[in-house]
């Protein structure tokens, strides 16, 4: 049986991997502190892992090549900077733990702990909120279990619930069970309809910003198209346009955490597993370009 809120895209249950001799993650704890948010994973044996942070600093991915997932913890948590977490299998059976955050973060510390007589092996990640958004490319580090010991802290947790719009529910009723619809934000309602305050400013054409990532079903894929669209539909309000895409990103992450699959209505495409993670990263990159364009006004 899968843990609540977790589904396995590969169709292989964690017990099957356990029989293959891999160590298992049996518990995840999250603690909020004045200077950090700490995440602790309890692991049944020795491990290696790596981590990366996307360009906007709002998604931490922990890669676990030799570890399996078997925790009964709920996947939706809103504590400290953490907004939730999801687990999925990538190529070659590598596990990926995704941790979306409410703000840009950096890894303040990442290390493994050996057994101490009271506890088994543990993976510890300390996340620190950033006052400014990162500008560097994705960063990745490899961490092994051969690290110094740390005293275990006590943790508290809280669940949060996701919401569906009326349009979501109407389309969802026509889709296969366990699948949610996603829409291109550029085809949705205006900022006035969403109740977003307008603070208008327009970027300079030809600003030195990276290109938008290519997604088949997105419209306004060039700087010129997007500038014209924002000037026409949003009256030059780049803050409201960016807020629309931020809202879309939050919904996509919610869908991934809750259902692990989504249907792109316009393209007739179903996203799951690694393709879904790739789509989340492309939305993050698009938001980064939108911010760049808004700064070069």
CATH for 14-144 is: 2.60.40.3500
> In what helix (H) or strand (E) does residue 49 lie, and over which residues does it extend?
strand 48-53
Q: Give the C-alpha separation, 76 to 62, whole Å.
A: 17
Contact 116, 85 (CB under 8 A): no
**Residue 71 in contact with residue 26, Cβ under 8 Å?**
yes
What pLDDT was estimated at residue 126?
92
Domain ranges within the chain, ordered by starting residue:
14-144, 166-295
| Strands 95-100 and 59-64, bridge-based pairing | antiparallel
The secondary structure of residue 27, as a DSSP letter, is E
Inter-residue contact 81 to 127 (CB < 8 Å): yes
Half-sphere exposure of 237 (CA within 13 A, CB side): 15
DSSP 163: -
- Listed residue (140, 60, 72) closest to 100, CA to CA: 60
Look up residue 119 and give its two tokens. Answer: 């506890």
For position 184, what pLDDT does the model report?
Answer: 54
d(CA 291, CA 285): 10
Give the number of C-alpha atoms closer than 13 A to the C-alpha of residue 51, restricted to the C-beta side: 22
Which class for 3: exposed (0-12), middle (13-18), buried (19 or more C-beta within 10 A)?
A: middle
* Contact between residue 139 and residue 52 where contact means Cβ atoms under 8 Å apart: yes
**CA 150 – CA 11 distance, rounded (Å):** 36
Is the C-alpha dihedral spanning 261, 58, 124, 278 positive or negative? Answer: positive
Burial of 176 (0-12, 13-18, 19+ CB in 10 A): exposed
In a 10 Å sphere around its CB, with 0-12 CB exposed, 13-18 middle and 19+ buried, how is residue 136 labelled? exposed
3-state secondary structure labels for all residues of 261-275 = EEEECCCCEEEEHHH
User: Rounded to an integer, what distance in angstroms lies between the CA atom of residue 295 and that of residue 79?
Assistant: 31
Which residue, 198, 169, 5, 178, is CA-closest to 87? 5
- Is 135 exposed, middle or buried (CB count within 10 Å of its CB: 0-12, 13-18, 19+)? exposed
pTM above 0.85, yes or no: no
Closest CA to 6 of 67, 96, 92: 96
pLDDT per residue, tens digit, the chain (297 aa), is 333 333 333 333 444 443 357 788 888 888 888 889 999 988 888 888 888 888 888 889 888 887 777 765 555 556 788 888 888 777 777 888 888 888 889 998 888 888 887 888 888 999 999 876 544 444 444 443 333 232 222 222 222 222 233 343 444 444 444 444 454 555 544 434 333 333 333 344 445 788 888 888 888 888 988 988 888 888 888 888 988 888 888 888 877 776 667 777 767 778 877 788 888 888 888 888 888 888 876
């Amino acid at each position: 049986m899968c843990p609540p809120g977790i589904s396995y895209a590969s169709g292989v249950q964690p017990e099957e991997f356990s029989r293959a001799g891999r160590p298992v993650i049996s518990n995840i704890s999250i603690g909020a502190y004045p200077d950090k948010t700490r995440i602790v994973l309890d692991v049944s044996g020795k491990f290696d892992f790596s981590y990366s942070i996307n360009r906007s600093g709002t998604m931490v991915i922990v890669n676990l090549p030799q570890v399996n997932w078997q925790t009964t913890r709920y996947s939706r948590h809103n504590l400290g900077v953490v907004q939730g977490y999801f687990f999925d299998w990538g190529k070659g059976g590598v596990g990926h733990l995704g941790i979306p955050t409410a703000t840009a973060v950096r890894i303040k510390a990442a290390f493994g702990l050996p057994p101490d007589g009271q506890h088994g092996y543990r993976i510890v990640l300390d996340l620190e909120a950033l006052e400014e958004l990162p500008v560097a490319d994705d960063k990745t580090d490899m961490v092994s279990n051969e690290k110094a010991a740390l005293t275990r802290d006590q943790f508290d947790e809280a669940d949060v619930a996701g919401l569906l719009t009326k349009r979501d529910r109407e389309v969802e009723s026509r889709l296969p069970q366990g699948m949610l619809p996603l829409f291109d934000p550029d085809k949705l309602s205006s900022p006035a309809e969403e109740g977003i305050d307008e603070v208008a400013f327009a970027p300079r054409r030809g600003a030195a910003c990276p290109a938008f990532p290519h997604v088949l079903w997105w419209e306004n894929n060039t700087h010129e198209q997007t500038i014209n669209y924002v000037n026409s539909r949003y009256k030059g309000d780049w803050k409201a346009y960016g807020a629309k895409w931020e809202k879309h990103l939050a919904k996509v992450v919610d869908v991934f955490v809750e259902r692990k699959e989504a249907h792109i209505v316009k393209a007739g495409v179903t996203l799951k597993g690694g393709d879904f993670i790739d789509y989340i990263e492309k939305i993050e990159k698009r938001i980064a370009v939108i911010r760049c364009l808004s700064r070069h006004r």
